[in-house]
Amino acid sequence: MKEVGLDEESQPEIYLPYDQVGIGTMTVVVRGDLPPKSYQRDVERLVARLDPDLPLSNVKTLEDVVSSSVAGRRFYMLLLTLFAVVAMALAAIGIFGVMSYAVAQQTREIGIRMALGADRDSVIRMVLRQASTVIGIGLVVGLAAAAATGRALAGLLFNLTPTDPMTLGIVAVILAAVALLACYLPARRATRIDPIQALRAE
């Protein structure tokens, strides 16, 4: 059983009669089909009937016991989640800005292609194809870095691995979508302006 906390490995447990090995205190666990709070008065009456001088304290539900045992970890994970959301937003804004600027620098090239007869869809596909290579390299490097640094957080995780495929996959999809959108919008804008104006763009 898990004697100390949920993050500890289960250990063998031996139960001995209290009369043989008394340790001064005793914990009684009551299980039933009714809501846990409804048993408190019944337990107090039963203990008082067995021994009126026996003190009864620290009555709580098992959910409260489990919750208090992971309260510290939960607080740290809440902070880490908040920082992760902020970092994700900053990364998305940074990626959007960089990719938008990179595509905007191709306005002159797009104007030349449009002047030579290229249609808008083919130009947009070209821009997205070029961006996909950069995005793919960035995702591979980012996922490798996340897997390497995730081991430092392994002690704070419960029933979750540092390289959780679903979490990493969701983050990768979001960042890839932001990067593609950042390329698509300026490329579409560049294809809608007059080719002559695009050629004059700096």
DSSP state of 117: T
- The Cα 49–Cα 43 span in angstroms is 10
- The Cα 170–Cα 84 span in angstroms is 13
Please list, in sequence order, all residues whose beta carbon lies within 8 angstroms of the beta carbon of residue 102, skipping any fewer than 6 positions away. Answer: 131, 183
Question: Mean pLDDT of all residues in the chain?
Answer: 79
Mean pLDDT computed over 86-106: 83
- The Cα 100–Cα 28 span in angstroms is 64
pLDDT exceeds 60 at position 96: yes
- The Cα 112–Cα 25 span in angstroms is 85
pLDDT exceeds 60 at position 34: yes
Closest CA to 47 of 39, 72, 172: 39
- The Cα 101–Cα 134 span in angstroms is 14
pLDDT at 117: 79
- The Cα 140–Cα 134 span in angstroms is 10
pLDDT at 122: 84
pTM of the model: 0.58
pLDDT band of residue 154 (cuts 50, 70, 90) is: low
Neighbours of 7 (CB within 10 A): 14
Please report the sign of the dihedral spanned by the C-alpha atoms of residue 11, residue 15, residue 21, residue 23.
positive
pLDDT per residue as tens digits for the range 158-201: 556 667 788 788 888 888 888 888 888 877 777 776 666 666 65
pLDDT per residue as tens digits for the range 59-94: 888 888 888 877 877 888 888 889 888 988 888 888
DSSP state of 9: P
Please give the single-letter amino acid code of residue 177: A
